[in-house]
Amino acid sequence: MPLIDSIAWIEFAAVRSLFCVRLIPVQHAAHQRRVFSVQEVHAKEEAAKTTYVCLLEGERLVIRFDMGMARMLMPSGDRVDLYQIPGGSGVRFSNGNMELRGKGIELALIDDATGTQSVLTQCAPYSAPMPVPKR
């Protein structure tokens, strides 16, 4: 382990012991070490509780429900925001072009322009991967 990494771990241990805060070191995309606090990890876990992964015609679709909105990451990589609208039982979100409706994890996506409805399959809560410290 290079000297800089050794110093970083010593500083990490000192901060952890001084503040009694559990910190989780992870490898950053730019190969720089980043330390997440327990609060940051907890926030990511909370966000994951309102995020679901489904299959849309066999491709992965991610939906995050947040404050009257359904934010979707489409299989194409496009981001789509839908806004909650009153519905009977269940959920209903629309942006005028697309509509998401259903009950629980039984959801359907409707293209308002064509009127086609696609049933979302294998919907399940998203489980966020935990950061892994570099050794």
Mean per-residue pLDDT pooled into runs of 10, the chain (135 residues):
43 41 46 60 58 92 92 94 88 94 90 92 82 68
What pLDDT score does 73 carry?
A: 94
pLDDT at site 50: 81
pTM comes to 0.60
Just give the CATH number of 50-125: 2.40.128
Q: Where are the domains of the chain?
A: 3-46, 50-125
> Which H or E run includes 43?
helix 38-49
Reduce the secondary structure of 83-112 to three states and give it as a string: EECCCCCCEEEECCCEEEEEECCEEEEEEC
Please tell me the predicted confidence (pLDDT) of residue 37.
65
